[in-house]
Structure 1
Amino acid sequence: MNVKQIAVTALFSIAAVCTQAQNTTFPETSAAQNEWVDSVFHKLNRRQRIAQLFFIRAHTNLGKAYEDSVGRIIKKEKLGGVVFFQGGPGRQAVLTNAYQAMSKVPLIIASDGEWGLGMRLDSTVSYPYQMALGAVQNKDLIYKMGQEVAKDFKRIGMHMNLGPVVDINNNPKNPVINYRSFGENKYNVTVKAAAYMLGMQNGGLLTSLKHFPGHGDTDVDSHYDLPRLTFTRERLDSLEMYPFRELIRQGATGVMSAHMNIPSLDAEPNVASSLSRPIVTDILKKELGFKGLVITDGMGMGGVVKNFPNGEADVRAVIAGNDIVELSLNSERAINLVRKAIRQDRVTMAQIDSSVKKILAAKYWVGLNKKDTVDEHNVLAGVTRQESLVLQQQLADASVTLLRGKENIRQLTAEKRTAIISIGTPTVTTFQRNLGAHYQHSVFYTLDRNANANQIAKVLAGLSSFDQVIIGIHDTRIRPGNGIVLSDDLKMFIKDMAKKQTIFALFANPYNLAALPGLESSKGLLVAYQKDDFMQHAAASVFKNQLVPTGKLPVTVGTFFKYGDGE
């Protein structure tokens, strides 16, 4: 059985198990006659139907004036949903109840939770980023993560996760997807995304595969400009669209359209794929047969408004066939412009009605046909459950990837004098403290990311008396992108130490290996993907010979490290 057959077999086996958990997928619910949907639909006038297509931005960290302004828009415009961004879980539960009370038709509450609530909300659980999950070989853990995320979302009154990312990150320079992707291999991406998606959906959560038709091979961030993909239709069919096609077959509830210009799919100059009827309706809905919700990426992003300002992008998004228009810069203006477009025969009311019924069916599927409020007591405890934290560590343990030095790590001995060095941070790290409790004769050294030759020399002067040297390289930035910031002197120090009996752990995006020459010849090299404590605990467990690393590298980095590597 080849790699492709194994991956596809795994995908379908997940689907078979998950189908038992939830008999009716949302696309099936959407297609069926529904008394509640029909009743609500017929109570809406034309303007109110159009308003159901628009979802507004909300925060709980910007003060009461901002919260009240969002509430006034919800009440006045009678919008279809809310997308929450930064804030806290308790505050969001309270505000969700307030917003739902203002709306005659219940709102779909959504958020970006690619790695759980922690992507947006303080004090909540963040699971490993998708790049780390791409290294995990046990897909059941990722399915469980989906179930836990669904519990968290529902606990604070949310119904839709704008994820998972199913973009294939085959461009190492990608500034916007990168660590948010499961990796560069379409089969690996599909299997891991299926596990996460089905875990969430079988937990009663709507999901949204993103970013259609595939945002992985670009070096332009669509938040600021319009990326242009010059690939052939054949290439896009066989690679970028592969995960979407497979997961649509598995009952995906939603797909997010991307802001990219793709001439081979739509020849109109400067049009974003999210505004393209040939892409959204002809390819996604008709050719791929997608019956779920199509939601745009944020409509305030530079990639979409640059060429279609003053609300025209919103109109074009509706004409293209998107069911939900996310984060319009001005929803009142957008609704008026869509009404005008209907009068001008640019779009039909029948198309609008079809989207509205689909949105209402989604509301029914998540239980919004029954009036309910979010329990505002003990919210934080409800979304920081012990089982979630255990799973977080299990995922980290399963992701760490040993690229060099299995035998050298086995020979590390607790009784030997051990130097434990952290590079990139001025303070002693979790990694050092964890190892220090095991290595009885250890000394800690730290070298901040801007360390100079003199500071490094002081550390070097003491290393001759040690039998073992373990170095952790830490990227302390909020997000683990490319371009880890280390002084040239530190990079030279790393290169020199790699020639000696030194074991390394990289707490950073694996693409950064390309900027750290010498590690390819080190005596031991473990990739731990990100800076978080759970990754530092996992790496320490490997270096204490308490954990056998099973992760496989999800991307190729330069000439020395290939996709699938891992001892």
Structure 2
Amino acid sequence: MAFFLQAISLLMAQEQAPPFLDEQYQPWADSVLATLSPEERIAQLIMIPAYSNKDQVHVDSISGLVRKYGVGGIIFFQGGPVRQAHMINRFQEETKVPLMIGLDGEWGLRMRLDSTVRYPYQMALGGISDEGLLYDMGKEVARQAKRSGIHVNFAPVVDVNNNANNPVIGFRSFGEEKENVARKSLAYMTGMQDHGILASAKHFPGHGDTDADSHYSLPVLHFSKKRLQETELYPFQQLMDKGLGSIMVAHMQIPALDDTPELASTLSKPIVTDLLKEEMGYEGLVFTDALNMQAVAGFYPPGVVDVKALLAGNDMLLNTMNVPATIREVKNAMERGEISQEEIDQRVLKVLKAKAWLGLDSFQPVETDHLIADLNNPKAEFLSRKLTEASLTLLRNEDNILPVKGLENTKIASLSLGTSQITDFQKGLERYVPMDHFTFPQEGGMEAIYKLKQQLSDFQLILVGIHGLGIREGGNDFGISPEMSVLLRELMKNQAVVVSVFGNVYSLDKIPGLERASGLIAAYQETPLTQDLTAQLIFGAIGASGKLPVTVNGAFGIGDGLETAAGLRMAYTQPEGVGISTADLTGIDSLMQLAISEKAIPGGQILLAKGGKVFYHKAFGYHTYDSLQEVSADDLYDLASITKISTSLAAFMHLKGLGKFDENQTLGTYYPPARGTNKADLKYTDILTHQARLRSWIPFWMSTVRKNGSFKWYTMKSDSSRRFPVKVANNLYIHRKYDQKIYSEILESPLNPEPGYVYSDLSFILAPKVVEAITGEDFYDYLERNLYKPLGAGTLTFNPYKNYPLNRVVPTEEDTAFRKQLLHATVHDEGAAMLGGISGHAGLFGNANDLAKLMHLYLYDGNYARQQLIAPGVVSGYSRCVYCASGNYRGMGFDRPNKPGDPNGNAAPSAPASSFGHSGFTGTYTWIDPENEIVYIFLSNRVYPTRENRNIYRLNIRTNILEEVYQAMKKTAGQE
């Protein structure tokens, strides 16, 4: 940024000529001019419109004009990049002199072309503090334009929009402050021209303070020349002085400059020649605005309007609608002595020199292979993300309500106004905390308002998104209905309301009382990305830094914009957001496809984060091999033994911080039933590192089954009752006191005769009872209150069948031995199932996103969202290796690399020795690397349809995926 500002300052101090005026381009221009007939020279000053979304008749008609008349250029409008490229290649092959191709790309090629990257509107960009980002945008737009065969981008819009009711500019302007408009325009222009694309500032001499649209009528500016010079002309002059390549003249009547009745500025010699070229000294290419717009076409027929524009001093005639008529009328004007051949030739030479600078002296066809992929590369998309993030403007933040804090104590709802569908904004909010979602369409009436008020009355915080707004006012308040305003006003009376406006910032003036909102975010436009980032801003994953570039009303003025810090909670970004190339992570997708094709897993979820930023979060495959239901990123998986570190260990560490648990104490210290048994003196340091001589497991379920396979009458029943209330699986219920038998069997079991490491479930099965004995509180309630709710980890739950539809829970095994059914939303582990699905060794379900929140708590040593949920030093202490010297590589509860660097080990070969995590029998895996700040979640149901499927181990999929990240990081480091 500092370098860019220095470069801009240097530019501001030095006047520059348009780049194509360099003498090196003169020889080619002279040589081409010598080959052209008088008619062909006139045609070089004509740019005709074309569309790549029209039929073959249209394409052939353009081809005919190119071949017959040799027009100088084509401006493309709506269509697609591949179709357009094919047209360009055809026309360039048919022309005598290479065509100059133009396009309106004010917010990138997406303004005209589908399948391309969309950048924010200029009004949004006007609120960004870092002009270096706009330079980068210009650079990237130039790359995309060149790749597409485009040479001139009719951008930036440098109009100073100081009229909120402007029907044609508005959101297309950088704002109402001339200096800001000039800085932003200069950055965008320089980025393009430094990388070989001609910029074109528009709409000269300034279309920002008009109340008519020149597409349909002739606006009149009743300003003095002094006012124009001080305001409207300022940014144009700034860009001209810095080498602006071209300029577009608007269709407006300006009596102070030319009082000819009903004469547009485009057709005015006093404006184009006297003011622009002579007084302001502009030497670059001068384009007319489209000559088929009613501001000029409504007064003069095709051909006549063109020659008038040429006589006014314009160089290129844009959107000429009748090429032969134009050539004929220009020749007639030459015969009348109104314009000379020499004047024509000088303008043609200027066009030809510009073509030489653009590389058209050695034209190459557009390569259509991989065109879409090249235009939509991840770096371009990441730039759009950065620009959008930097533009978000926080206008109200009463009592620092944002970012939202204290999730455990706040009942939150979301409400989308202007739509009847759940929005991307609401989906983005859901990633941070479970909440109820509501909608209110534009046509909603008073009855719906009353119902919503009742439904929302119990919520302490309502996050409102305003959607479906028109980008122009259009006489309908941007689509904001009176009912929407009434509902919002009623909610703000009694509740905390944060409003995010996804649309034209001038719409803020159409919502009475908006200044009384607890929080207010101007998001400028409605795209999935904008909604995503606004949700992240609300929860503090990203910060607010945008400033309002215009004055909306007395409450919201230019320069308004509060700042908040980033990094409170997990952010969601692209690999480029953490310094990794997306291209270097393609191996992850390949590994998952391999796992699915080899039937190691039916599907799965992967989440990867670095530095608190989720840079990879994808779902793959299906719930089962029947391929009926695709895995979604918010589906719940049976976490199996990850339960150990997510419940039992989590509770112990939390209690440790409170001084209520000490790993140097024994099981008997905390669990009275253990006293007097051979387990009483087992120290928790040994228990948690699996070297307390506990047996690995006990097949509890086998003691419930007779030899003929039926259940013993006092153990299981197919229907629930007072004596058999505990659900084990569908249509299977266990005796209400059977859990006591399980706990007793553990306490009565013999210890292993020899000391040493033996992985055991038994102490973790007892853990809920230990926690309840210490706290006097239900195990899950304790976890939810102290950890899961503050984290917003709502899907971390036991027995998901109670709260989630089955289609959101991924099934596990087809159990043919014990439960004789497909296990779906009930726990896979037999022992946990017999305990009603709640245990400390297995039974927890969740999705990758919520598990990642808990793992980030561990990564940052008990701190998340600036809440120290576990005392400092506890997690880092428990994750250290305790008995490495004796060959036990585990931490207390956590797994650690048993063979660092081993490609067949339990961790990625490049994972440092300090990393830690855990795996689960169902195919789950999580790993934390504190040195590189990495959190990795892998969720799958490898046990479907049977636990005998061990392909996931054979392929080593889980650790190989994390290794792909380390290799990508090494590539990045090698390029720096």
Check whether TM > 0.5: yes
User: Structure 1 residues 156, 397: closer, same or farther in 2, change over 3 A?
Assistant: same
TM-superposed deviation, 1:335:
0.8
The structure showing larger relative contact order (alpha-carbon pairs under 8 Å, at least 6 residues apart) is 1
Q: Aligned residue for 1:502? A: 497
Which of 443, 446, 449 is residue 442 of structure 2 equivalent to? 449
User: Structure 1 residues 455, 114: closer, same or farther in 2, change over 3 A?
Assistant: same
2:535 matches 1:543 = no
TM-superposed deviation, 1:417:
2.2
Q: Aligned residue for 2:757? A: none
Q: Quote the Cα distance in structure 2 between the aligned partners of 1:323 and 1:516.
A: 46
Q: Aligned residue for 2:729? A: none
Q: Aligned residue for 1:353? A: 345
Q: Quote the Cα distance in structure 2 between the aligned partners of 1:322 and 1:497.
A: 56
Q: Aligned residue for 2:385? A: 393
Q: Aligned residue for 1:521? A: 516
Q: Quote the RMSD (CA, aligned, Å).
A: 1.9
Aligned partner of residue 484 in structure 1, secondary structure: helix
Q: Aligned residue for 2:552? A: 557
Q: Quote the Cα distance in structure 1 between the aligned partners of 2:9 and 2:75.
A: 28
Which of 91, 105, 113 is residue 113 of structure 1 equivalent to? 105
Asked if the contact 2:395/2:561 (under 8 Å) is kept, the reply is yes
Asked if the contact 1:18/1:202 (under 8 Å) is kept, the reply is no
Q: Quote the Cα distance in structure 2 between the aligned partners of 1:131 and 1:250.
A: 23
Aligned-partner residue type, residue 386 of structure 2: Q
Asked if the contact 1:496/1:518 (under 8 Å) is kept, the reply is no
2:307 matches 1:312 = no
Asked if the contact 2:20/2:357 (under 8 Å) is kept, the reply is no
Q: What are the Cα deviations for residues 360-397 of structure 1, in whole angstroms up to 9, with x where unaligned? A: 00000010001311101111011101001111111111
Aligned partner of residue 285 in structure 1, secondary structure: helix
Structure 1 stretch displaced more, 59-68 or 308-317: 308-317
Aligned partner of residue 241 in structure 1, secondary structure: helix
2:333 matches 1:341 = yes
Aligned-partner residue type, residue 451 of structure 2: K
Asked if the contact 1:11/1:190 (under 8 Å) is kept, the reply is no
Q: What are the Cα deviations for residues 138-179 of structure 1, in whole angstroms up to 9, with x where unaligned? A: 111111000110011000111000111000000100000000
User: Structure 1 residues 438, 18: closer, same or farther in 2, change over 3 A?
Assistant: farther
Structure 1 stretch displaced more, 307-316 or 386-395: 307-316
Aligned-partner residue type, residue 242 of structure 1: Y
Q: Aligned residue for 1:493? A: 487
Q: Quote the Cα distance in structure 2 between the aligned partners of 1:470 and 1:535.
A: 15
Which of 241, 246, 251 is residue 249 of structure 1 equivalent to? 241
Aligned-partner residue type, residue 108 of structure 1: M
Q: Quote the Cα distance in structure 2 between the aligned partners of 1:371 and 1:403.
A: 50
Aligned-partner residue type, residue 94 of structure 2: M
Q: Quote the Cα distance in structure 2 between the aligned partners of 1:405 and 1:82.
A: 49
- Aligned counterparts, 1:23-102, within 5 A: 25-29=18-22, 34-102=26-94
Aligned partner of residue 207 in structure 2, secondary structure: coil
Q: What are the Cα deviations for residues 69-113 of structure 1, in whole angstroms up to 9, with x where unaligned? A: 111111111100000001101111111100100101000010000
2:283 matches 1:288 = no
User: Structure 1 residues 322, 223: closer, same or farther in 2, change over 3 A?
Assistant: same
User: Structure 1 residues 494, 171: closer, same or farther in 2, change over 3 A?
Assistant: same
Q: Aligned residue for 2:507? A: 512
Structure 1 stretch displaced more, 83-92 or 399-408: 399-408
TM-superposed deviation, 1:267:
1.9
User: Structure 1 residues 563, 236: closer, same or farther in 2, change over 3 A?
Assistant: same
Q: Quote the Cα distance in structure 2 between the aligned partners of 1:315 and 1:495.
A: 56
Q: Aligned residue for 2:402? A: 409
Q: Aligned residue for 2:451? A: 458
2:321 matches 1:326 = no
Larger Rg: 2
- Aligned counterparts, 1:294-305, within 5 A: 294-305=286-297
Aligned partner of residue 403 in structure 1, secondary structure: strand
Q: Aligned residue for 1:201? A: 193
Q: Quote the Cα distance in structure 1 between the aligned partners of 2:17 and 2:233.
A: 25
User: Structure 1 residues 33, 471: closer, same or farther in 2, change over 3 A?
Assistant: closer
Asked if the contact 2:515/2:555 (under 8 Å) is kept, the reply is yes
TM-superposed deviation, 1:28:
3.1
Aligned-partner residue type, residue 371 of structure 1: F
Aligned partner of residue 517 in structure 1, secondary structure: coil
Asked if the contact 2:20/2:356 (under 8 Å) is kept, the reply is no
| Structure 1: segments with no counterpart, 5+ residues | 1-8
Aligned-partner residue type, residue 383 of structure 1: L
TM-superposed deviation, 1:35:
1.3
Aligned residues: 554
Q: Quote the Cα distance in structure 2 between the aligned partners of 1:331 and 1:425.
A: 47
User: Structure 1 residues 61, 18: closer, same or farther in 2, change over 3 A?
Assistant: farther
Q: Quote the Cα distance in structure 2 between the aligned partners of 1:293 and 1:32.
A: 17
Compute the TM-score of the two structures, normalised by the length of structure 1: 0.95
Q: Quote the Cα distance in structure 1 between the aligned partners of 2:331 and 2:253.
A: 27
Q: What are the Cα deviations for residues 499-521 of structure 1, in whole angstroms up to 9, with x where unaligned? A: 33111111111111111011111
TM-superposed deviation, 1:532:
0.8
2:256 matches 1:264 = yes
Q: Quote the Cα distance in structure 1 between the aligned partners of 2:290 and 2:254.
A: 18
Q: Quote the Cα distance in structure 2 between the aligned partners of 1:24 and 1:273.
A: 24
Q: Quote the Cα distance in structure 2 between the aligned partners of 1:371 and 1:562.
A: 49
Q: Aligned residue for 2:431? A: 437
Asked if the contact 1:425/1:476 (under 8 Å) is kept, the reply is no
Q: Quote the Cα distance in structure 1 between the aligned partners of 2:288 and 2:478.
A: 32
TM-superposed deviation, 1:12:
7.6
Aligned partner of residue 446 in structure 1, secondary structure: strand
Which of 505, 522, 527 is residue 532 of structure 1 equivalent to? 527
Aligned-partner residue type, residue 496 of structure 1: E
Q: Quote the Cα distance in structure 1 between the aligned partners of 2:403 and 2:32.
A: 65
TM-superposed deviation, 1:128:
0.1
Asked if the contact 2:156/2:199 (under 8 Å) is kept, the reply is yes
| Structure 2: segments with no counterpart, 5+ residues | 563-976
Asked if the contact 1:15/1:198 (under 8 Å) is kept, the reply is no
User: Structure 1 residues 324, 279: closer, same or farther in 2, change over 3 A?
Assistant: same
Q: Aligned residue for 1:124? A: 116
Q: Quote the Cα distance in structure 2 between the aligned partners of 1:450 and 1:520.
A: 24
Q: Quote the Cα distance in structure 1 between the aligned partners of 2:122 and 2:363.
A: 35
TM-superposed deviation, 1:13:
3.8
Asked if the contact 2:11/2:242 (under 8 Å) is kept, the reply is no
Q: Quote the Cα distance in structure 2 between the aligned partners of 1:171 and 1:66.
A: 38
Q: Quote the Cα distance in structure 2 between the aligned partners of 1:82 and 1:157.
A: 11
Q: What are the Cα deviations for residues 385-410 of structure 1, in whole angstroms up to 9, with x where unaligned? A: 10011111111110011111160113
Asked if the contact 2:403/2:537 (under 8 Å) is kept, the reply is no
Q: Quote the Cα distance in structure 2 between the aligned partners of 1:79 and 1:310.
A: 16
TM-superposed deviation, 1:412:
3.6
Aligned-partner residue type, residue 422 of structure 1: S
TM-superposed deviation, 1:11:
7.6
TM-superposed deviation, 1:245:
0.5
Aligned partner of residue 34 in structure 1, secondary structure: helix
Q: What are the Cα deviations for residues 416-456 of structure 1, in whole angstroms up to 9, with x where unaligned? A: 3210011111211111001111013x011011111111122
Aligned partner of residue 208 in structure 1, secondary structure: strand
TM-superposed deviation, 1:19:
11
Aligned-partner residue type, residue 520 of structure 1: E
TM-superposed deviation, 1:27:
4.7
Aligned partner of residue 472 in structure 1, secondary structure: strand
TM-superposed deviation, 1:458:
2.0
Q: Quote the Cα distance in structure 1 between the aligned partners of 2:450 and 2:238.
A: 55
Aligned-partner residue type, residue 461 of structure 2: Q
Q: What are the Cα deviations for residues 440-493 of structure 1, in whole angstroms up to 9, with x where unaligned? A: 3x011011111111122222211122222110111354x455632132211111
